[in-house]
Structure 1
Amino acid sequence: MTDRTDTAATAPSPALLDEAVAALRSPDPVVRDEQAYTQLARWVPLLAPERRRALGDRMAERFTDPEIQARTFAPLVLARIVGCGDHDPAWTAAFTDWYLGERDLRGHDEELGWLHAVAHGADLLAALGRCPQVDPAPLLATGCARLLTPTGHLFDAMEDDRLGFALAVVLTRAELTEQQSLEWLDPVAADFAAAEPGPVPPYASNTMRTLRVLYLLADRGVRPGRWQGEAVPLRHAAAVRERVAAVLAMNSPYAG
């Protein structure tokens, strides 16, 4: 794609936007990540609302793309769009179907570069968690189901941190009842209760490590800007912390 290094605060032409969207499918990580995604992330806030929504529709369609890198970079752009205040329930539905169905969970590939389905999906989950038009309770269920889906992939590129952060962001929503803040963990508790002696399956290890991140954020609060701004407490922080600790203790004898 054309290498655009200018930083002028102007929206791209339709042709330039189309070029970047096409390049977001590229198997070349430099073209896809360093050029196309970087440009799109910069352009999204500059687009008129109708152009952002059209771009959101295109990203939602990418969730069914046959190319893994196309599927996993769509949520990053869609997260930027949702962060600008735009939302369509169809985007959330398409994301949920993909996030729970994606089986290629590689963080990094030698040739394709970063893929990071779990982490990139978690970024969109966090953006949806901040979106007032989206019911937060189903997002918690989505995060839980992603964790409990059997996989041979052991998180090795901070996927647990990104997903734990996303769940914590969702749990800051003021409209969540205490029951809603806790009941999404019931399937995890049931899964852990049914565990048999032997090696810990990758999905269970992933779940435990993600919940440890969530426990930390329930204790300290979460900064929606990740490293900036005041920490925002989870809506029912103490109850969440106790429930997470109790669930972890089921399979972690050192947890207390």
Structure 2
Amino acid sequence: MELKQALEELNRNKFQGDLDDLLIHMLHQIGSTDPVLRDDLIYTTFGKLVIEDFLTKEQLTYLLNTCLDDEHLFYRIGERGTDSVFTRSFSVLVVALILEKDREEGFLKEDRMEVATAKCFKYLREEQDTRGYVETKGWAHSIAHGADALTEVIRHPVFEIEKIDECLEVIRACLFKKATTYVDDEDERLLFAIEGLLDQGLSEEKFSKWIELLSTELEGLFQQNGYSVDFFHIKGNVLSFMKSCYFRLIMKEDFFEVRFMIEKVVERWTRKIYG
């Protein structure tokens, strides 16, 4: 049976085939460049299978392990502008689904959670294709999808507060990727991870210092590259993230020290660049 037909049948609750076999075929085509097959059918079906308890614990673990492997999450990692990004990006999105499910039900062994955490960190550091929407092929959105998985790592009951610093470093790495201009709400998705860290105990003092460190790194980049395209792209990403963060914190009616630091940083860069 053709994959599209099988998925359509499953979503109508009329699927009669072998679920293990279907999972294999879905994973094989998880990075299809057909946006209907990839987004509307494969990913949507993964969501249905995971959330609505179609899968056993063994199947969920198999799905997680496969999505984290070198042929999925790290498939041709480092490439830019090629179709391989769809495999990586939608693999990490399925990882986020499974971690969310495990947060509710706790079926993963602790060592699997440790592996998933480490690989999510590694993926966001190493992903170089940061395109959001790709004409005719649909959403790549690698950083947004990776941020979703990072958020689930942070929200998980076994998350260790000792990893807060590493999470902040991973978010920083996303903001400072070269040749990148985020235009598809990547900053907003990264902020869900920040909110998770605040819930896990990220202190206002540490958060404020981290904001200042972003500005310091941006200054170093400016000293090195001057008024270059790369500098302006990264400055735009960093300041857009800070501005989004500022208003998110206003909505929480808290974190006045962090908000004051963001005000100082944004004003500093506005005066520096525009006088």
1:15 to 2:15 alignment: no
Match of 2:64 in 1: 56
* In structure 2, distance between residues paired with 1:140 and 1:102: 17
- The letter for the 1-side match of 2:45 is Q
Structure 1 contact 168–218 (Cα < 8 Å) conserved: no
* In structure 2, distance between residues paired with 1:218 and 1:208: 15
Structure 2 counterpart of 1:70, from 82, 87, 112:
87
Q: Note the C-alpha offset of 1:113.
A: 1.6
* In structure 2, distance between residues paired with 1:242 and 1:53: 44
* In structure 1, distance between residues paired with 2:269 and 2:151: 27
Match of 1:202 in 2: 233
* In structure 2, distance between residues paired with 1:28 and 1:38: 14
Q: Note the C-alpha offset of 1:186.
A: 4.2
3-state SS of paired residue (2:148): helix
| 1:182-229 alpha-carbon deviations (Å, 9 max, x no partner) | 3433431212333356365212201110111111111113xxxxxxxx
3-state SS of paired residue (1:184): helix
The change in CA–CA distance for 1:129 and 1:147 in structure 2 (over 3 A counts) is same
Match of 1:26 in 2: 32
The change in CA–CA distance for 1:133 and 1:240 in structure 2 (over 3 A counts) is farther
- The letter for the 1-side match of 2:74 is T
- The letter for the 1-side match of 2:66 is R
3-state SS of paired residue (2:199): coil
Unaligned ranges ≥5, structure 1 = 222-232
1:171-182 paired onto structure 2 within 5 Å: 171-173=198-200, 175-182=201-208
* In structure 1, distance between residues paired with 2:245 and 2:198: 10
Please, what TM-score do these two structures have when normalized by structure 2? Answer: 0.77
Find the structure with the greater CA-based Rg. 2
1:3-152 paired onto structure 2 within 5 Å: 3=8, 4-7=10-13, 13-45=19-51, 46=53, 47-61=55-69, 62-66=72-76, 67-84=84-101, 85=103, 86=108, 88-135=113-160, 136-149=164-177, 151-152=178-179
Match of 1:164 in 2: 191
Structure with the bigger percentage of helix: 2
The change in CA–CA distance for 1:238 and 1:119 in structure 2 (over 3 A counts) is same
| 1:106-145 alpha-carbon deviations (Å, 9 max, x no partner) | 1122243210111111111222221132233321221112
* In structure 2, distance between residues paired with 1:53 and 1:246: 46
| 1:139-188 alpha-carbon deviations (Å, 9 max, x no partner) | 12211121122x22311222222223332332222x33344333433431
Structure 2 contact 123–146 (Cα < 8 Å) conserved: no
Count of aligned pairs: 237
Please, what TM-score do these two structures have when normalized by structure 1? Answer: 0.82
Structure 2 contact 121–150 (Cα < 8 Å) conserved: no
| 1:10-44 alpha-carbon deviations (Å, 9 max, x no partner) | xx821222222222121211111110000001111
Stretches (4+) displaced over 6 A: none
Q: Note the C-alpha offset of 1:7.
A: 4.9
- The letter for the 2-side match of 1:32 is R
Aligned Cα root-mean-square deviation (Å):
2.5
